[in-house]
């Protein structure tokens, strides 16, 4: 009888141990999923910042170079922003000062300074535009660094195209930060020359790597071109293949509707809603 009772106790102990191990592993999986999802969300927010800043830089460039008739422009940039232009020889420096805070016409909130520098040559088929930030914030996220844009007047499809190399650091209000290096190619497919910023549409491809403060690394490559409409704060469609350390998945920005949601599908086929800010 004593031997039987002892065996039962062993079985119960083993059963409880297995349950505890399974519970711990389940908790680890949940935590891992949450960490990956949070990282993907931050990466998507960087995409929003990156693409909006590029739009601002290029919009200023085409206006300053007279590629769009000034009298027809429906301003993309708000009246609360101050623009200063300095010409030295063949170099033009444009300073955009959003002051302590300035709301864009598409709802984004900016403060601080963007400096844009390029060589003046109206007859050139290609141009290089450099930009940098000074105490600059985009929707309360501090943006440091800058980049360059290689702009082609016309690509093989007959559309203006820009290749952007970026090296930026984003610091969130809670102190978290991320450093991104990458290349994006942006084709202007609708609205060029109309003089109305709200009908401008771009298709974006490219690849990049993002390193977070905690050492985690995200890599992204566009598999379905991202559709960026200036009238909307967010990317409205397109797919990015993402890797986060040893995890992989896809980020889908939707069917073309202007909203702040994207869907991350992990390697197990589980979908996570990503809210963009």
Please give the pLDDT value at position 195: 65
C-alpha closest to that of 213 among 240, 174, 167: 174
Q: Is 146 contained in some domain?
A: yes
Q: Is 199 contained in some domain?
A: yes
Contact 171, 144 (CB under 8 A): yes
The segments of the chain whose pLDDT lies below 70 read 1-33, 35, 67-76, 193, 195, 197
Q: How do residues 16-42 score in pLDDT, each as one tens digit?
A: 343 333 333 333 333 336 767 788 888
Contact 174, 184 (CB under 8 A): no
Q: Is 68 contained in some domain?
A: yes
Q: Is 169 contained in some domain?
A: yes
Q: Where are the beta strands (DSSP E) in the chain?
A: 82-88, 91-97, 102-103, 109-119, 126-138, 141-152, 161-171, 177-190, 201-212, 217-229, 235-244, 247-255, 261-266, 271-275
Please give the pLDDT value at position 39: 80
Please give the pLDDT value at position 75: 63
Please give the pLDDT value at position 227: 94
Rounded Cα gap, residues 64 and 192, in angstroms: 15
Q: Structure tokens of 93? A: 């420096």
Please give the pLDDT value at position 230: 83
* Residue 81 belongs to domain spanning: 35-275
Q: How do residues 72-100 score in pLDDT, each as one tens digit?
A: 445 668 889 999 999 999 999 999 999 99
Please give the pLDDT value at position 51: 84
Q: Is 193 contained in some domain?
A: yes
**pTM score of the predicted model:** 0.78
Q: Is 195 contained in some domain?
A: yes
Q: Is 3 contained in some domain?
A: no
Which DSSP category does 258 fall into? -
The dihedral over CA atoms of 199, 203, 206, 210, expressed in degrees to the nearest 10, equals 40
Please give the pLDDT value at position 246: 79
Please give the pLDDT value at position 247: 81
**What's the total number of domains in the chain?**
1
Half-sphere exposure (CA, 13 Å, Cβ side) for 228? 24
Q: Is 149 contained in some domain?
A: yes
């Amino acid at each position: 009888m004593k031997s039987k009772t002892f065996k039962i106790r062993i079985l119960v102990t083993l059963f409880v141990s297995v349950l505890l191990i399974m519970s711990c592993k389940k908790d680890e999986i949940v935590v891992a999923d949450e960490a990956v999802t949070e990282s993907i969300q931050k990466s998507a927010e960087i995409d929003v910042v990156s693409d909006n800043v590029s739009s601002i830089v290029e919009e200023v460039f085409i206006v300053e170079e007279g590629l769009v008739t000034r009298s027809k422009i429906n301003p993309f940039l708000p009246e609360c922003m101050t623009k200063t232009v300095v010409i030295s020889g063949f170099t033009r420096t444009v300073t955009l000062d959003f002051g302590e805070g300035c709301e864009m016409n598409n709802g984004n909130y900016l403060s601080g300074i963007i400096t844009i520098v390029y060589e003046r040559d109206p007859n050139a088929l290609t141009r290089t535009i450099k930009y940098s930030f000074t105490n600059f914030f985009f929707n309360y996220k501090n943006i440091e660094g800058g980049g360059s844009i290689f702009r082609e007047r016309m690509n093989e499809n007959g559309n203006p195209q820009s290749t952007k190399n970026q090296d930026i650091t984003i610091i969130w209000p809670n102190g978290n930060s991320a450093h991104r290096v990458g290349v994006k190619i942006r084709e202007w497919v609708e609205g060029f020359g109309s003089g109305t910023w709200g009908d401008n549409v771009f298709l974006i491809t490219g690849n990049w790597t993002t390193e977070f403060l905690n050492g985690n690394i995200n890599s992204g490559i566009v598999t379905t071109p991202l559709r960026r409409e200036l009238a909307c704060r967010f990317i409205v469609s397109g797919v990015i293949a993402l890797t986060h350390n040893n995890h992989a998945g896809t980020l889908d920005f939707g069917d073309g509707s202007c909203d702040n949601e994207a869907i991350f599908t992990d390697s197990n086929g589980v979908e996570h809603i990503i809210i963009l800010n």
